[in-house]
Structure 1
Amino acid sequence: MNFEERDTYGMYKRHAGESEGPGPRLMGANTLMGNDVYNEKEEDLGDIKEIMLDMTNGQVAYAVLSFGGFLGMGERLFAVPWDALKLDTENKRFILNVDKARLENAPGFDKDHWPDMADQTWKDEIQSFYETGRSAEQQGQQTHH
């Protein structure tokens, strides 16, 4: 199911010649839950189960992606930095530039054992894996130059 199918308030409906509504630049978090995530090779990587907000700065920090398993059994969850995802408005899904085989080795967790997402070491590991953001060490080096 994609964001247009989850649009209970009609915010994405467009009529001929109209440009009203939030559009793809501003979207409701609930409408993004369950959206498919593919890579650039058209491989299905799973779907978005949750969106994690950083309450200290009001920014979206991670999308929690489900991958693997069968009918919810053996499913692994992955916290993907929000800036690693790109919205594909044409196909109404997200693109994550990671090979499926590489994702199988990503730092993940199961639904009963969530990591401490506020831990800086964990954040650095995730950002390094997905090659997003800057680690705390890089930020420290930049401030000392």
Structure 2
Amino acid sequence: MSTLDPRGTSSGAGARIVGTGVGDGPGPDVMASATLDGTKVVTSDGEDVGKISDIMLDVRGGRIAYAVLSEGGFLGMGSTLHAIPWSALTLDTDAKRFRVDITAQQLKDDPGFDKDHWPAMADVTWGTQVHQYYNRSPYWATTRELDPGIDSDI
């Protein structure tokens, strides 16, 4: 069962949003994924560990599965990539960055992958291990509450 955050939005399997950054147009509740590419990521202990390089969608399930963090390297060369469960992130609209609920050392201890050797992200075993590492329930195991006014048989 999901809960409501202070603004009344569901806080189930999505990224949390904090801050006062509400402007004209879309965002921060609904945004183009390209808007988030290049957004800095800071760990729970305050270290800047890289930037979002990709947002991975579960096409069949219609959900965001992971944000891919690019850590280190120069101009994308030699960087380590990390798949971070979307629910492990908090978008800080005031600081215009994501916070990840893990320490910098824990992130560095995660072996990650490189741009030429991506894991099979649809593999349940791999996905379960990633979610366990970030102490999160797998996104595919989280159910959405349906609006009682919507016919779920559609």
Q: TM-score, normalised by structure 1?
A: 0.76
Q: Does 1:110 align with 2:125?
A: no
Give the whole-Å Cα distance in 1 for the aligned partners of 2:124 and 2:57. Answer: 16
Give the whole-Å Cα distance in 2 for the aligned partners of 1:91 and 1:135. Answer: 26
Moved segments of 4+, more than 3 Å: none
Give the deviation of 1:41 after TM superposition.
2.5
Q: How many residues align?
A: 122
1:27 corresponds to which residue? 31
Q: Which has the larger radius of gyration?
A: 1
2:72 corresponds to which residue? 68
Contact preservation (8 Å) 1:88, 1:94: yes
Contact preservation (8 Å) 1:53, 1:59: yes
* More helix by percentage: 1
Structure 1 residue runs without a partner (length 5+): 1-11, 15-19, 140-145
Identity score, percent: 48
**Letter of the aligned partner of 1:76 in structure 2?**
T
Two-structure CA RMSD over aligned residues (Å): 2.3
Bigger relative contact order, structure 1 or 2 (CA pairs below 8 A, ≥6 apart): 2
Structure 2 residue runs without a partner (length 5+): 1-20, 143-154
| Larger CA deviation: 127-136 vs 44-53 | 127-136
2:152 corresponds to which residue? none
